[in-house]
Amino acid sequence: MELPSLEELGAAARIVYRSMLPTPTHAWPLLRERMGTPIYLKHENHTPVGAFKIRGGLVYFDALRAREPGCTGVICATRGNHGQSVGLAARRAGLAATIVVPRGNSVEKNAAMRTLGVTLIEHGDDFQASREHAQALAQAQGLHMVPSFHRDLLLGVASYWLEFFSAVPKLDTVFVPIGQGSGICAAIAARKALGLRCKIVGVVSAQAPAYALSFAARRAIDAPVTTEIADGMACRVPDPQALALILEHVDDIVQVSDDEVGAAMKQLFVDTHNVAEGAGAAAFAAAYKIRARLQGQTVGAVVSGGNVDHDVFARVLLQGDSARAAAA
């Protein structure tokens, strides 16, 4: 895939800003104290759907209406945030949307998607099974299949990286969670277009290590998914186009466990009073995990989303507290 020019990224950003404002970037004092070095958070948990994905959806559907003016319906597979993006963008484009999610998906993400008027179908035990079912339905029903990775999605998502790099142009290392790859590939595109030299570190769940294993082996490797908290990173099969860009341009990939992700969700709330879902806290979890290697650097981490079920978040906030109470 050819990386977009700065002009292309700027045009895509203007499409995004028809529907939303830029999200904030903050350097929280307590996080800096915890890290021992300057750290800035890009708050994509503050978009209209609570996650960065909406940016890609807005640009994708703008291009879709031009490419396929006769399109009347779309379908996609998701764990939630991509589905909310597709639901909102499809509604604004006047298109019907069908969303396929795995069984046991986030109750509150499902509810948010239904509120956007989508037809929600539960199928399969993981994202890959849902995607295969969505592809079959697309063919059978004549629906347009919205992929999880596409150049138009990357163009829209890159708008938050333009914002981030503009707000803090001298970042040394940035951390990005990897689901299907649009977020990290957008970082690659924006860094190149702006001529920056910061390091890009991808973050995956240790319970969904496909991209980490593929990065180490320099070839695609599928891996089982067992994460219970980082559903936004629950990737079993790497996307070939995303993996090619990652292998060429990414500096490192760090794995974080469910326990480390949960601890980061709690740390972010305690230090900033922001709610981050598992994938949304993963970038900070990775930065905190290797903080000894980052001393003296200016670090960036994206809070990619805040869509976590309330009961899950309540359990995360109570981790460690019950043990201390029992000891007391």
SS3 202: strand
Strand partners, 25: 42
Element (H, E) at 245: helix 240-249
Residue 249 gets the label, from left (phi > 0), alpha (psi -120 to 50) or beta, of alpha
In Å, how far from its chain's centre is CA 110?
Answer: 17
Q: What is the pLDDT of residues 110-141, one digit of tens each?
A: 999 999 999 999 999 988 899 999 999 999 99
Q: What is the pLDDT of residues 247-282, one digit of tens each?
A: 999 999 999 999 999 999 999 999 999 999 999 999
- Report the interhelical angle of 53-67 vs 81-93 (nearest 10°): 40
> pTM for the whole thing?
0.94
Q: Tokens representing 189?
A: 């595109």
The predicted structure's pLDDT at residue 326: 39
Q: Are 20 and 84 in contact (CB under 8 A)?
A: no
The predicted structure's pLDDT at residue 321: 64
**Hey, CA dihedral for 302, 306, 308, 310, is it positive or negative?**
positive
The terminus-to-terminus CA distance of the chain in angstroms comes to 58
Neighbour count for residue 145 (Cβ, 10 Å):
15
The predicted structure's pLDDT at residue 319: 85
What are the phi and psi torsion angles at 262 (to 5°)?
Answer: -60, -40
Instruction: Please give the domain boundaries of the chain with CATH numbers for all domains.
Output: 6-51+151-318 (3.40.50.1100), 53-145 (3.40.50.1100)
Q: What span, in angstroms and rounded, lies between the C-alpha atoms of 149 and 157?
A: 11
Residues 6+ apart with CB under 8 A from 219: none
Q: What span, in angstroms and rounded, lies between the C-alpha atoms of 298 and 278?
A: 23
The predicted structure's pLDDT at residue 323: 41
Q: What span, in angstroms and rounded, lies between the C-alpha atoms of 57 and 153?
A: 6
Low-confidence residues of the chain: pLDDT under 70: 321-328
Tell me the percentage of the chain whose pLDDT exceeds 90: 94
Q: Tokens representing 325?
A: 């109470």
Biggest CA pair distance of the chain: 67
